[in-house]
Amino acid sequence: MKTETNAVCQRLGYKGHSIPTSISSSVDSNIKSAYKLIKPRYAYVPKVIDGTLRQEVFMAGHLVFTSQTISYVLSDCKWAVVFLVTIGGDLEREVSRLMEKGDMLNAFILDTIGSEAAEKAADYLQDAVSETAKAIGYNTTLRYSPGYCDWDVSQQKIIFQIIESTVLGVNLTEGFMMIPRKSVSGVIGIGKFSKSKLPPCLRCNRKKSCQYKRTKL
């Protein structure tokens, strides 16, 4: 459990700092509780890419993603794998219960564990897509989600047109936020790329200050 504990503690702000024993013990205890609450589920749909322009990705079914970054990422791709991952709502309900009790520390720790679990579930899906692509001689891009870079969060509505989200128990609010919150949506490109193609983060004007950058500078 040490690896999981360290990952959660980094999310709590202890990256590069010694972790107090009381915090690591609380994290360990909450991780054990979280195992009973986390119920990961996912769905993905590969969409044929008909073409890209400077800020648009045209996919089969007259669907369009609008983002200069996503257009660049998918410009050499044959498919856009649109995905949705969730860990369910049980953990969030327990976080709410702890907050109502006034147990803010454990609520915060459990909520952080949920965020880490959702990202790990998305990583697992990306690895599975990458292995499938590799088996047929293709590469995959990093995964990107609405809200990253210049990809507006309102583009969630396109993803939810493609994925049958209700089967996973995930809904989209009018403000384009997902319920349960511990859910991850996005796209992974499949294609054949030149090794000389720069990652989009290296081309971005905000690369030095962006907390979401995907490349070490």
Question: What pLDDT, on the 0 to 100 scale, is given for residue 210?
Answer: 62
What global pTM score does this model have?
Answer: 0.87
Question: What pLDDT, on the 0 to 100 scale, is given for residue 217?
Answer: 41
Q: Are 83 and 43 in contact (CB under 8 A)?
A: yes
Which value, in Å, is the radius of gyration of the alpha carbons in the chain?
19
Q: State the average pLDDT for the chain.
A: 89
* CA atoms within a 13 Å half-sphere pointing along the CA-CB vector of 150: 19
The whole-number average pLDDT for the span 17-34 is 86
Phi, psi of 20 (to 5 degrees): -60, 140
Question: What pLDDT, on the 0 to 100 scale, is given for residue 195?
Answer: 66
- 124, two tokens: 């697992």
- pLDDT, tens digit, 9 for 90 and up, residues 40-64: 999 999 999 999 998 999 999 999 9
pLDDT reading at 198 higher than 70: no
pLDDT reading at 187 higher than 50: yes
Q: 166 vs 196, which has greater pLDDT?
A: 166
The whole-number average pLDDT for the span 137-159 is 94
Q: Which domains does the chain have, with CATH numbers?
A: 38-192 (3.40.109.40)
Band of pLDDT at residue 24, cut at 50, 70 and 90: confident
